[in-house]
Amino acid sequence: MSERVLRVEGLRVGFDHPQGLVQAVDDVSFALSPGERFGLAGESGSGKSTLALSILRMIKAPGRIQAGEVWFAGTRLADLDEEGMRALRLSDIALVPQGSMNSLNPVLRIQQQITDALADHGLRLTRGEEQQRIATLLAAVGLPNSVARMYPHELSGGMKQRACIAIATCLRPKVIIADEPTSALDVVVQRQVMATLALLQRDLAAAVILVGHDMGLMAQFVDRLGVMYAGRLVEVAPIAEIVTRPRHPYTRALIASLPSLERRGALAGIPGLAPVLRDLPGGCAFHPRCTLATDRCRTEKPKLRNIDGAQVACHLA
Amino acid sequence: MRGAFRYLGRNPSLTVGIALLAALGLFVIIGNLLVDTHDSRPLSVPTLRPPSRDFPFGTDRQGRDLLAVMVAGTPLTLRIGFIAGFFGVGLGTVLAFIAAYYRGLVDTMIRGIADIGLTVPGLLVLIIIAVSIKGTLTVSQMALVVASLAWLYPTRTIRAQVLSLRERGYVEVARLSGMSGPGIIFLELMPNLLPYLAATLVSAVSSAILASIALEVLGLGPIDAPTLGMTLYWVNFNAAMINGWWWWWIAPTVIILTVFLGLFFLTVGLDEIANPRLRRSA
Amino acid sequence: MQAAYVARRFGVFLLIVWLAGTLNFFLPRMSGQDPVRTKLLQQAALGGYVQGGIEEMTREYERRFGLDKPLWRQYLTYLHDISQLDFNYSIANYPRTVRELVADALPWTIGLLGITTLLSFGIGTLLGALLAWPRAPRWMVWLMPPLWALHAIPFFLLGLILTYLLAFQMPLLPIFGGYSAGITPALSWSFAWDVLQHALLPALSIILVATGGWALGMRGMTVTILGEDYVVFAEAKGLRASTVFMRYCVRNAILPQVTALALALGQILSGAVLVEVIFGYPGIGTLLYQAIRENDHFVIQGIVFTVIVALGFTTFVLDVVYPWLDPRISYHRT
C-alpha cells in the first residue's frame, strides 16, 4: 500500500445550492502507482474537474469536502494545515490547467510566472541560476527561450498550454493532474502537446491523472482509465481492457460512440440527457438511460466491485 | 403586489432609496398644506430667529421663513434635476442607439464628441455658459443650461450597453428574420435595456441636481428663487456658520443629504435589477 | 510605433485646448455683454463719477483691451495671447494680471487636490481589494456601509458638516482660509503647520467621500477577478496568499480603476472647487467665486482655460501611461 503515490478513498464533495445540495463527487476511490498514467473520463458535469480540485484541497464555498481521505505518499492530506498544503501544491502535486484559456496572468511575463512559484516555495536562486532553470524548462516543453520574456497574449493556444506545463513541472512534482489540457486545441497541436506531456512525465517519473472527455485521446495516452458518471466512478480498468471489453453499459456506449475511420453510417450516441447533479435518480444514476436496467438498478446503488482485474459499479456485470 | 413587497425585502437599497424619496415627497406635500410658501420670499418674517414654535426651521437674515423656503425650494431643485436628467438621458439614448446601431463614421463622431466633452470638467463649462447669459437665470433656464451637458455621460454608457446587447443572439435572429432597424431597436433591444436606462436616468438626475446646486452656490443661480443651492449661497455669503446661525445651514444640508442618499440608494437598487450578477458578490 | 500613439494622444490634447479657448472666447461675446462698460457703470454707481465721461473712458479701455477691433481679429489675437499664457488684466483687480492671480492660487489647489486624490485613490483601492478578498479580517465588512453612504454626498456638504462639528462645536480646527489671518507666508515650520491645520478639514471632506467610491469600484472588480482562471492556477501553484492577492488580483483589477480615475478627474475638480468656496481656501475655487461675484470675465476665462488645459494634460499623461500598465493594450491601437 505504501508504494502508492496517491490514494483517494471515499471522497464526497457537495455544493450547497439554495435549491438543494449538488453532489458533485460521490464516494470516489482510486489509487495511483508512481509513474502511472491514469485517465479520468466523463462528460461535462460528471464531477471530474471538481475531483481534481478537491485533491488539491482547493474547493471553495459553497462547495465542501464532505467525507473521504486523500493520501499522498503516506501522508494524509487532511492532517496538513493550510501552510503545509500550500507547500505541497506544485512541488509534490501539480495542476496543469487548460492553458489555452485564461490560466496565465495577463500582466506578467512568462518567466515571472515561473519565478514567483519558485520564490514562494522557498527557492533562493541567483539571477543566472533562475535564467538557466527557465531555459531548461522551456526547452523541455519545446518552447524557444524567447518565450520567457513574452506576455500570454503574445502566445498561441498551443504555446500557452506548453507554458502551463512548464510552470507546473518547474518543481519536479510526483503527481501531475492535467485538467483537460488539450480541449480547446486543434488535433495537430493536441498531438504535439500530449507528446510533450508524455516525455516530461517519463523524465520526471511522475504519475499523471489525465482528466478529459476525449476517449480517443485517453486510448492513446493512459495506462488505466476511470470512467465517471454523475459524480460516481462506474468503471476502472486497464485501457486495453476498457476499449476491447467495456463492462459498464455507460462505458460500452461511450466506446461505441467513437467515430471510426473504417465503418460508415450513423453516429451512435447515448439516448437521454446527463442527469442534473442536484436531482439524481435513485439507485444507479445511469438507469434512466440504460437499455438493460432492472428493478434492482432503479433502487439499489451499485458499488465498485472487482471483476477479472477491472472494477465495475453495475449490478449486471 | 405581494411579489413586489417581497422583492423589496431582497433589495434593501431600492427600499431605502424609495423610502427616503417618499419621505421627502411627504415633507413637501404636507409642508405645502401647513405653511404659506409666500413666506419664502425676503422680508416676510422677522430676521435671524432660531427655530421656535412659530418658525420650526428658524428664519434667515433676509427675513425668509426657512421652513417655507425648504418646502418651496425642494420641488424647484428637484424640477431642475428632473428636466435636465430626462433631457440628458433622452438625447443620450437616441444618440447612443444611432451610434451603436449604425456604427462607422457616425459612431466615431458621436463617441468622439462625447469623449472630449467628458474630459472637460462640466462645471466649468456650465459656469462659462451661465456667466455669459445676460442677466440672472430663471429656474427653467438653469435646467436648460445643465441639460446641455447632461447627455454626454448617458450617451457613452448606454452606447456601451447597446453594443454588448447587439452581439447577443436574439438580435441576429431578428435581423435574419427580416426585421427592420427601428423595429429591432424597439422590440428587441429596448425591453432589455429598460432597467439599465432607469438606473442611468436616476444617476443623471442626481448629477443634474448636483450641477445646479453647484452653480447656485457659486452665485450663478436664479437669485430670487428659494432653491436649496441658493439658500447655501446666502449661508456662505453671510458667513452664517461663523456667526452661529446654525439653523440656517442645517435645514438645506439635511434635505440635500436626503435627496442625494435617496437617489444613490435608488440607483444601486435599480442597478441590481439591471445587472443581477452583482447580487452574488461577498 | 510608440511615437505615433503618443503623437495622436497629444493631438487630442491640443484639440481640447483649442476648443476650450474658442468656447471661452465666443460664449461670453454671444450674449452681447460688455464687461468694461458694466464695470465702469458699477463704479459710477458706487463712487459717483460724472456720467459724461463714461463713453470716452469705455472707448479708451476698449482700445486698451483690444475690444474695438473686428471679431475675427480679436479671435486671432486671443488665440495668440493664450498660447503665451497671457490672459489679460483682471478687470476687478486691475492692474494685476490674470496670470498673476491664477499663479498665486494654483499651487494651493494642486496641493489640496493632488494629495487628497492620491490618498483617497490609494486607500480606497487597497481597501476595496481587501473587502473582496475572502481571507481578509472579518471586521472590515463593517467599514462598507459608512463608506458607501458617505460617497453619495457631495464633498462640500460633508465639508459643512465637518466644519460645524470639528471647527465650531469643538474648536479643534480653523474654520476658514488657507492660513491664519495676519500671518505672512514664509518657508518655516510654523507656517507649514498653520497651513496643514487649515487644509485638514477641506482635505478630509474630499478624502472621506472619495475613498468610498474607489473602494466600491475596486471591490467590484476584485470580485470579478477572483473568479478568473489565472487566480485558480495561481493558488494551485502554491503561491502565498499575499502573492496571489497583490500580483494576480490587485495587479489586474487596478487597470479599470486607473481608467476610472482618468474619467473622474473632472468631477473631482468640480467638487474641490466648491469645497474651496465653502472653506475660503485660497485656491482656484475661491478665486473663481470672487471673480463671478465681481463679474471679472477675464479671470473667469483664465481660470476655466487653465483648468481645462491642466486636466487635458493629466488625461494625456494617464493615456500614455496606461499601455505600460496593461501589456495587452499596445501602442498601435487608438
Q: What are the 10-residue block averages of pLDDT along chain B, 282 residues in total?
A: 72 85 89 79 80 81 84 87 89 84 81 80 82 73 83 84 72 70 68 81 89 86 84 85 81 90 87 61 36
Interior angle at CA C86, CA C85 and CA C92, nearest 5: 125
- CB of B16 within 8 Å of any CB in chain C? no
Residue A317 lies in a domain: no
CB contact under 8 A, B241 and C265: no
Q: Please state the length of chain A.
A: 317
CB contact under 8 A, C273 and B118: no
Average pLDDT, chain A: 86
CB contact under 8 A, B218 and C292: yes
pLDDT for the residue numbered A90: 92
Instruction: Dig out the grid coordinates for C59 from the structure.
Output: 472707448
Contact A22, A45 (CB under 8 A): no
- Which of A89, A103, A169 to mutate against chain C (most C CBs within 10 Å)? A103
Residue A45 lies in a domain: yes
Q: Quote the minimal CA–CA distance from B118 to chain C in Å.
A: 7
Going from the C-alpha of A20 to that of each of A59, B26, C216, the distances in angstroms are 18, 44, 32
What domain range is A41 assigned to? Answer: 6-312
Q: Quote the minimal CA–CA distance from C197 to chain A in Å.
A: 42
Residue owning grid cell 502508492: A4
Of B133, B218, B257, the CB nearest to C289: B218
C residues 131..150 contacting A (CB < 8 A) = 134
Strands A224-229 and A93-96 come out as: unpaired
Say if residue C47 is exposed, middle or buried (CB neighbours under 10 Å; 0-12, 13-18, 19+): exposed
- B24-278: CATH topology: MetI-like fold (1.10.3720)
Please report residues of C whose CB lies closer than 8 A to that of A106.
230, 252, 326-328
Q: Quote the minimal CA–CA distance from C251 to chain B in Å.
A: 20
pLDDT for the residue numbered C230: 92
Give the mean pLDDT of A265-279: 72
Kindly report the backbone phi and psi dihedral angles of residue C93, in degrees, each rounded to the nearest multiple of 5, phi listed first. -110, 30
Q: Is the pLDDT of residue A95 over 70?
A: yes
Q: Quote the minimal CA–CA distance from C128 to chain A in Å.
A: 20
B residues 83..112 contacting C (CB < 8 A) = none
Instruction: Dig out the grid coordinates for B259 from the structure.
Output: 435627496
Please report residues of C whose CB lies closer than 8 A to that of B120.
16, 19-20, 266, 308, 311-312
Please report residues of B whose CB lies closer than 8 A to that of C218.
none
Please report residues of C whose CB lies closer than 8 A to that of A108.
247, 251
Residue owning grid cell 433591444: B189
Which chains share 3+ C-beta pairs under 8 angstroms with C? A, B
Instruction: Dig out the grid coordinates for B54 from the structure.
Output: 412659530
Edge-first strand order for the sheet with A75-76 is A20-32, A6-17, A63-72, A75-76
Nearest to A197 by CA among A215, A188, A184, A209: A209
Q: Quote the minimal CA–CA distance from A93 to chain C in Å.
A: 9
pLDDT for the residue numbered C182: 64
Q: Is the pLDDT of residue A1 over 50?
A: no
Contact B126, B215 (CB under 8 A): yes
Please report residues of A whose CB lies closer than 8 A to that of C230.
102-106
In tens, the pLDDT along B58-68 reads 888 888 888 88
Q: Is the pLDDT of residue A2 over 60?
A: no
Interior angle at CA A55, CA A52 and CA A61, nearest 5: 85
Over C280-331, what HEC string results? CCCCHHHHHHHHHHCCCHHHHHHHHHHHHHHHHHHHHHHHHHHHHHCCCCCC
Strands A20-32 and A6-17 come out as: antiparallel
CA dihedral C6, C12, C13, C16 (to 10 degrees): 180
Q: Domain spans of chain B?
A: 24-278
Say if residue B25 is exposed, middle or buried (CB neighbours under 10 Å; 0-12, 13-18, 19+): middle
Enumerate the H helices of B167-227 as residue ranges: 169-176, 181-183, 190-217
* Calpha distance A20→A298 (Å, rounded): 22
Q: Is the pLDDT of residue A158 over 70?
A: yes
* CATH code at position A20: 3.40.50.300
pLDDT for the residue numbered B157: 82
Number of domains in chain A: 1
Please report residues of C whose CB lies closer than 8 A to that of A97.
229, 232-233, 236
pLDDT for the residue numbered B278: 45
B106 contacts: CB under 8 Å, gap ≥ 6: B98, B99
Nearest CA in chain A to C230: A103
Nearest CA in chain C to B281: C223
In tens, the pLDDT along A273-301 reads 777 777 777 778 887 788 777 888 788 78
Going from the C-alpha of A249 to that of each of A28, A109, A293, the distances in angstroms are 19, 48, 10
CB contact under 8 A, C248 and A94: no
3 state SS of C180: coil
Nearest CA in chain A to C249: A105
Of C233, C238, C326, the CB nearest to A121: C238
Residue A102 lies in a domain: yes
ipTM given for this complex: 0.89
pLDDT for the residue numbered A145: 92
Residue A1 lies in a domain: no
Kindly report the backbone phi and psi dihedral angles of residue A313, in degrees, each rounded to the nearest multiple of 5, phi listed first. -110, 80
Of B118, B124, B260, the CB nearest to C307: B124
In tens, the pLDDT along B215-264 reads 888 888 888 888 888 888 888 888 887 777 888 888 888 999 999 999 98
pLDDT for the residue numbered C334: 44
Q: Which residues are paired to A72 by β-bridges?
A: A6, A75
Of C229, C243, C328, the CB nearest to A103: C229
CB contact under 8 A, B241 and C263: no
In tens, the pLDDT along C148-174 reads 888 888 888 888 888 888 776 666 666
Instruction: Dig out the grid coordinates for B179 from the structure.
Output: 426585421
Contact C169, C252 (CB under 8 A): no
* Calpha distance B227→B211 (Å, rounded): 13
Per-residue pLDDT of chain C (334 residues; tens, 9 = 90+): 577 788 888 888 888 888 888 877 777 666 656 666 666 666 666 665 555 666 777 777 777 666 667 777 777 877 877 777 777 777 667 677 788 888 888 888 988 898 999 999 999 999 889 888 887 777 877 877 888 888 888 888 888 888 888 776 666 666 666 666 666 666 777 777 777 888 888 888 899 999 988 998 898 889 888 888 899 999 999 999 999 999 999 999 988 888 888 888 888 888 898 888 888 888 898 888 888 887 777 888 888 888 888 888 888 888 888 888 888 876 654 4
Number of CB atoms found within 10 A of residue A239's CB? 19
Which chains share 3+ C-beta pairs under 8 angstroms with B? C
Please report residues of C whose CB lies closer than 8 A to that of B250.
164
CB contact under 8 A, C270 and B132: no
The torsion region of residue A90 among left (phi > 0), alpha (psi -120 to 50) and beta comes to left
pLDDT for the residue numbered C244: 92
